[in-house]
């Protein structure tokens, strides 16, 4: 029997190529575009009558595509996704997930105002793309879900495992580490065994106009990349101004809001020195932003909580590689379990730019062991 798969379609080249690959592999593909706003007029879409046991009475709200740009979840992206679906002759739905996106926006604002560095893409995957997407798949009797992420699901020791994508320059396993383990075996990443150039070539050969479409670089709900402006619009102008200080507590100047800064930031400080200075620490209670030299960013260990484990029966202490941000090279480390969802990570060598609020992902080779959230970092010992 043909397997039905719901594919998250963003209107970009990766998810579009994923649709081509799934069709070639014989799957019955249903495309789903996840809209972040509520600016369109709702309509109703019906699945074809009698399609593999799905009652024709199931009605699915879809959204029109007015030409108003709204980040990577915009009407123009929805139109691109719909055109791809038309070319490939697959059912297509554009659903409004404004409430779920609202939760992600609240999380984003809360973290910055707490002096932490959020990762909305990880949260979006955890809550929306692999939460609501799965719920929709269940509602239409699908056997699984798929996305255009560069990652792989391989069987290891008889269990589905999340593994890095073949194209290491595009690997997205880091932002997928928090997905629900229970559905791991129901997920497909069709582009995970390809390089990006190969995916663009495949899309071009299939006659898809999105083959040359640029990758989205911004956060989808902040298309102008001005997150400070977003915070003001979302929460109003907070009273968060304070002092720049050095690592000894000496006042160096004033800033207008600590939420404007992230750990490791060098540019845009609004204050100059004779040598490069970096944001070392953010103190929301005192409103101080601590600046220092690059070596002051070194951290030997950290603690993380909210661990989502994708493996069983790990010992209380084990070796692995730990990745502390998307573009960080995972570093050798020893992990100690404090509690099931709380760990201490001790790096073999100091790491630079460890930021509370960012995702921590643990790897055994290419396999993802777990994902969690950095809570605290400890200074590296002075040489």
CA distance 340 to 76: 44
Superfamily of domain 297-379: Translation factors (2.40.30.10)
Which member of 72, 73, 121, 220 is catalytic? 220
Residue 379 banded pLDDT, cuts 50, 70, 90: low
Looking at per-residue pLDDT, the higher value among 350 and 215 belongs to 350
Looking at per-residue pLDDT, the higher value among 64 and 26 belongs to 26
Q: Which residue has the tokens 């907070």?
A: 238
Instruction: Report the percent of the chain where pLDDT is more than 70.
Output: 87
Average pLDDT over residues 57-68: 31
Contact 134, 121 (CB under 8 A): no
Tokens of 184: 């791991």
Give whole-number Cα distances, 64 to 43, 83, 271, 298, in Å. Answer: 7, 13, 47, 50
Residue 105 banded pLDDT, cuts 50, 70, 90: very high
Q: What is the pLDDT of residue 1?
A: 57
Q: What is the pLDDT of residue 122?
A: 93
Give whole-number Cα distances, 134 to 24, 38, 147, 282, 327, in Å. Answer: 22, 21, 11, 37, 28
Residues 6+ apart with CB under 8 A from 263: 117, 279, 280, 281, 282, 297, 353, 354, 355, 356
Tokens of 315: 């010992």
Each residue of 351-378: pLDDT tens digit? Answer: 999 999 999 999 999 999 999 999 986 6
Q: What is the pLDDT of residue 127?
A: 86
Q: What is the pLDDT of residue 224?
A: 83
Tell me which residue of 96, 92, 78, 2 sits closest to 48, measured CA to CA. 92
CATH hierarchy code of domain 4-212: 3.40.50.620
Q: How many residues does the chain have?
A: 383
344 CB burial (10 A radius; 0-12, 13-18, 19+): middle
Average pLDDT over residues 15-21: 98
Architecture of domain 239-292: Roll (2.30)
What is the domain partition of the chain in residue ranges? 4-212, 239-292, 297-379
Each residue of 299-337: pLDDT tens digit? Answer: 999 999 999 999 988 899 999 999 999 999 999 999 999
Give whole-number Cα distances, 197 to 9, 43, 143, 192, 200, in Å. Answer: 19, 37, 30, 13, 5
DSSP string, 125-176: IIIIIIIIHHHHHHHTT-SEEE---SEEEEEETTEEEEEE-S-TTT--GGGG
| CA 342 to chain CA centroid, nearest Å | 21
Q: What is the pLDDT of residue 67?
A: 33
Looking at per-residue pLDDT, the higher value among 323 and 268 belongs to 323
Calculate the average pLDDT of the chain.
88
Does 71 have pLDDT greater than 50?
no
CA distance 341 to 237: 35
CA distance 261 to 255: 10
Average pLDDT over residues 244-256: 96
- Lay out the sheet containing 92-96: strands in order across: 92-96, 28-35, 4-8, 144-146, 187-188
Residue 66 banded pLDDT, cuts 50, 70, 90: very low
Average pLDDT over residues 229-247: 93
Residue 56 banded pLDDT, cuts 50, 70, 90: very low
Range from 46-60, 118-132, 339-353 that averages highest in pLDDT: 339-353
115 CB burial (10 A radius; 0-12, 13-18, 19+): buried
Q: How many CB atoms lie within 10 A of CB 351?
A: 24
Average pLDDT over residues 247-275: 93
**124 catalytically annotated:** yes
**220 catalytically annotated:** yes
Q: What is the pLDDT of residue 274?
A: 85
Q: What is the pLDDT of residue 376?
A: 80
Give whole-number Cα distances, 219 to 70, 90, 104, 150, in Å. Answer: 11, 28, 11, 18
β-pairing, 92-96 vs 28-35, is parallel
Which member of 73, 121, 124, 320 is catalytic? 124
Torsion of CA 163, 149, 35, 88, to 10 degrees: -130
Does 191 have pLDDT greater than 90?
yes
The pTM for the full model equals: 0.87
The strand pairing partners of 28, in sequence order, are 4
Does 50 have pLDDT greater than 80?
no
Least confident of 29-33, 241-245, 268-272: 268-272
């Amino acid at each position: 029997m043909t397997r039905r798969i719901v594919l998250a379609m963003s209107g970009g080249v990766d998810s579009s190529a994923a649709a081509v690959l799934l069709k070639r592999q014989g799957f019955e593909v249903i495309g789903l575009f996840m809209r972040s706003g509520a600016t369109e007029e709702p309509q109703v879409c019906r699945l074809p009558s009698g399609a593999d046991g799905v009652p024709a009475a199931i009605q699915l709200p879809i959204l029109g595509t007015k030409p108003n740009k709204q980040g990577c979840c915009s009407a123009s992206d929805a139109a691109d996704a719909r055109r791809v679906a038309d070319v490939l002759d697959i059912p297509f739905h554009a659903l409004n997930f404004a409430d779920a996106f609202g939760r992600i926006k609240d999380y984003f604002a809360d973290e910055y105002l707490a002096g932490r560095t959020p990762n909305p893409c990880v949260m979006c995957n955890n809550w929306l793309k692999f939460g609501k997407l799965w719920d929709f798949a269940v509602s239409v009797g699908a056997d699984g879900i798929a996305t255009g992420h560069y990652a792989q699901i391989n069987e290891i020791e008889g269990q589905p495992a999340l593994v890095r994508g073949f194209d290491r320059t595009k690997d997205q396993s880091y932002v997928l580490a928090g997905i629900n383990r229970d559905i791991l075996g129901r997920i497909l990443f069709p582009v995970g065994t390809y390089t990006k150039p190969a995916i663009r070539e495949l899309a071009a050969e299939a006659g898809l106009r999105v083959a040359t479409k640029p990758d989205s670089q911004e956060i989808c709900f902040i298309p102008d990349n001005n997150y400070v402006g977003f915070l003001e619009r979302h929460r109003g102008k907070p009273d968060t101004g304070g002092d720049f200080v050095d690592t000894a507590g000496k006042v160096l100047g004033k800033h207008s809001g600590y939420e404007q800064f992230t750990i490791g930031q060098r540019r845009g400080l609004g204050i100059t020195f004779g040598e490069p200075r970096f944001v070392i620490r953010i103190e929301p209670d005192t409103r101080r932003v601590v600046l220092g030299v690059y070596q002051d960013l070194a951290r030997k260990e950290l603690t993380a909580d909210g661990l989502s484990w994708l493996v069983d029966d790990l010992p209380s202490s084990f070796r692995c590689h730990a990745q502390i941000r998307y573009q960080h090279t995972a570093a050798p480390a020893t992990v100690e379990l404090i509690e099931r969802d709380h760990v201490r990570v001790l790096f073999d060598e100091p790491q630079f730019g460890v930021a509370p609020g960012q995702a921590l992902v643990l790897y055994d080779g290419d396999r993802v062991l777990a994902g969690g959230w950095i809570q605290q970092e400890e200074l590296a010992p002075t040489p």
